[in-house]
Structure 1
Amino acid sequence: MNTRSKRSVCILLVSLLSTSLLAGCGNDQGTDDGGANDQSLRVQEERARQVADAWRTSAAADAWAQGYYPMADAVQAPASGWRSKADKRAFETKNFVLTGDLPSMASTRGEVEWGDGQDLTRPLISSEKAYKSFALHRSAGPHLTVTEARLGTTVIVTSRGKATVPAWVFTLESYDTPLKRVAVTPSKLPKPPIGHARQEATGGLRSITRLAGTAADGRSVTVKATHGTCDDGPTVKALETKESVVLYASIKGAESGACAAVMIEQDMRVKLSQPLGDRILLDALTGRPLPFGDPNGTAPSWT
């Protein structure tokens, strides 16, 4: 097992004698030499192609192309960086202290601007909700202090490229640059034009948890994939079309027999033949766009 793998915070504790654990290890995938068999790969690629074909020219694709879907963190640390490890830890543990009052909004809606004349109006979140998205604790020990807040702007990467959006700008004590939190809400995800596939009917296909990042040149993406304790880790491949990039994941080197049903999350970098650009990034098993960010983090891109 790859020692760099990150264990999920949610671990299912079950009997090692239970035959149901075999599904958690994914023993129906791959071969003893660590590679998925050719038949499984063909089935997985065919499912990826079905997803790509379903999204092409669909109403969901049109809605996606017109919506606002952030592909980067909604909470942006000070541009000057953290002054110390203690401050960075305070941010990661959401340990903040607020002095003074948070401002109210003069408007309930704000503009998302891509610079191409295709601006979009979206609802704004309050300064209080923005603050609570990254500040949950006031415990003893290292903390960050917010002294004031105002409504300003920031730039964020979206599914349609970089956009200038409204943001709550929080002044931090002893910092020359502020912490920012995007103030506009993402668009509602369109209903996928294809349904969730059954794992057993797709050659052992697995879903990809989320997008973790995109390379500056757009020629690779890093995603979170999962595997069990009785295999050699996940493998992720890409089916690229003009309109989309469909990622399909499985595991390699699965062993037969009982093993602990532990979910391990691992970063997987996937190289692309062309920059991602405005192509939609899809998961083959679910048929849905890949969300950015940790659902339990400070500000997931959507839920």
Structure 2
Amino acid sequence: MRSVKLLVTLGLIAAAAVGCGDQGAASGGHTGDHSPRDRARRVAAAWEGSEAARAWRDGYYPLGAAVQLPEGAFHNDADKRAYTTQNFELRASLPGAPVKRGKVRWGDGDSLTVPLTSARAAYDKLGRGRNSGPALTVTGVRLGDMTMATSRGAATVPAWLFTIKGYDTPLKRVAVTPSETPRSPIGAVREQTAELGPLAGLEAIGGDGRTLTLRAEHGACDDGPAVDVLEAGSMVVFSASVRGTSDGPCTSELRVEKVKVKLRRPVGDRILLDAFTGRPVAYGRSGSDS
């Protein structure tokens, strides 16, 4: 099967999935009559001044990892393997149900009251391994906070702090979940092509605030993915494509590759959008929890 056909098939599935929450939204389907650049402009225009943009700016949307490791992690390969295989040993009592709500606080004084997750829920997301290999031993658990990059800048966020045997500082896991993603004012593209497809997520934002690492899909018989950037007002729109597609026989394999892009100025509080879906680009892998 050709890589292009593979991408188109997957794109139809993806478009159907992301479109479920956008039924009734303004049409934005790319049909070949408009270039990916035109599509990006339409996405930016639809979001500018929209109710979705206002809701996004009022919410909590993390742009960083849900877990922050102890200082000096890891001391050895065994500890690293224990973490990557999610193998933990609990030798402490987990706190009972905490106060039901906490606050996310930004540097400009704004705050948002949000529901808290339990220590048990946080620990269960860390320790899914439960295998006979090396394990990290948890000797204490308490509620604290951590600094998190968000769509509105750095924020102080409630977090569960897990004391790990052998480490001087705790492992931190965020104790709140992101706000619900607002309904997009523009629908997803109906068909994926080599010229325009969905992104697989945001991997990281560099220390300069301008260098972004994105995750993009491609097939086994092409030259890899590319990402075009449109900076328009308070929006940044990314258009993912595939380079060097072939019409010859190809295995039906989907690959995800990291692609770095550099913006003209730091992200700040601008909304990062996917031209294909018409929705904000999610941090991390598609479907991963925060």
- On whether the aligned pair clears a TM of 0.5, the verdict is yes
Deviation at 1:175, TM superposition (A): 1.1
- Counterpart CA distance in 2 for 1:193 and 1:256 is 36
- Counterpart CA distance in 2 for 1:286 and 1:280 is 14
Equivalent position of 2:97 in the other structure:
105
- Counterpart CA distance in 2 for 1:60 and 1:151 is 32
Name the SS for the 1:23 alignment partner.
helix
- The Cα offsets for residues 52-102 of structure 1, whole Å up to 9 and x where unpaired, read as 000000000000000000110111111232111211111111000101320
Give the counterpart letter for 1:222 in structure 2.
T
Name the SS for the 2:106 alignment partner.
coil
Query: In structure 2, which of residues 162, 169, 176 is the aligned counterpart of residue 170 of structure 1?
Result: 162
Name the SS for the 2:187 alignment partner.
coil
Contact 2:200 2:286 in 1 (8 A): no
Equivalent position of 1:192 in the other structure:
184
Equivalent position of 2:12 in the other structure:
none
Give the counterpart letter for 1:229 in structure 2.
A
Contact 2:98 2:118 in 1 (8 A): no
- The Cα offsets for residues 34-66 of structure 1, whole Å up to 9 and x where unpaired, read as xxxxxx897000000100000000000000000
- 1:31-70 aligned at under 5 Å gives the runs 43-70=35-62
Deviation at 1:185, TM superposition (A): 1.6
- The Cα offsets for residues 138-181 of structure 1, whole Å up to 9 and x where unpaired, read as 21121101111000111110000000011100001111111001
- Counterpart CA distance in 2 for 1:263 and 1:275 is 32
Query: In structure 1, which of residues 47, 67, 76 is the aligned counterpart of residue 68 of structure 2?
Result: 76
- Counterpart CA distance in 2 for 1:86 and 1:193 is 48
Query: In structure 1, which of residues 139, 146, 168 is the aligned counterpart of residue 138 of structure 2?
Result: 146
- 1:211-230 aligned at under 5 Å gives the runs 211-230=202-221
Deviation at 1:294, TM superposition (A): 2.4
* TM-score, scaled relative to structure 1: 0.84
Query: In structure 2, which of residues 153, 165, 169 is the aligned counterpart of residue 161 of structure 1?
Result: 153
Give the counterpart letter for 2:105 in structure 1.
E
- Counterpart CA distance in 2 for 1:46 and 1:275 is 24
Deviation at 1:111, TM superposition (A): 0.5
Q: Over aligned residues, Cα RMSD in angstroms?
A: 2.0
**Moved runs in structure 1, 4+ residues, more than 6 A?**
none
What is the percentage of aligned positions where both structures have the same residue? 48
Deviation at 1:258, TM superposition (A): 2.5
- Counterpart CA distance in 1 for 2:131 and 2:194 is 49
Change (3 A) 1:80 1:207: same
- Counterpart CA distance in 2 for 1:203 and 1:224 is 16
Change (3 A) 1:42 1:269: farther
Give the counterpart letter for 1:204 in structure 2.
E
* TM-score, scaled relative to structure 2: 0.88
Equivalent position of 1:23 in the other structure:
5
- The Cα offsets for residues 116-138 of structure 1, whole Å up to 9 and x where unpaired, read as 22110000000000001111122
- Counterpart CA distance in 1 for 2:276 and 2:209 is 23
- Counterpart CA distance in 1 for 2:7 and 2:197 is 12
Q: Name stretches of at least 5 consecutive residues in structure 2 with no aligned partner.
A: 9-31
Change (3 A) 1:25 1:62: closer
Deviation at 1:22, TM superposition (A): 4.8
- Counterpart CA distance in 1 for 2:215 and 2:187 is 21
Give the counterpart letter for 2:5 in structure 1.
A
Q: Name stretches of at least 5 consecutive residues in structure 1 with no aligned partner.
A: 1-15, 27-39
Query: In structure 2, which of residues 249, 258, 265 is the aligned counterpart of residue 258 of structure 1?
Result: 249
Equivalent position of 2:238 in the other structure:
247
Name the SS for the 1:209 alignment partner.
strand
Change (3 A) 1:63 1:268: same
Contact 1:22 1:259 in 2 (8 A): no
Contact 2:194 2:245 in 1 (8 A): no
Give the counterpart letter for 2:259 in structure 1.
M
- The Cα offsets for residues 242-293 of structure 1, whole Å up to 9 and x where unpaired, read as 2110000111111112211100110000111111111011100000111111
Contact 1:222 1:268 in 2 (8 A): yes
Change (3 A) 1:144 1:296: farther
Matched, 1:210 2:201: yes
- Counterpart CA distance in 2 for 1:229 and 1:141 is 34
- Counterpart CA distance in 2 for 1:255 and 1:213 is 31
Give the counterpart letter for 2:122 in structure 1.
A
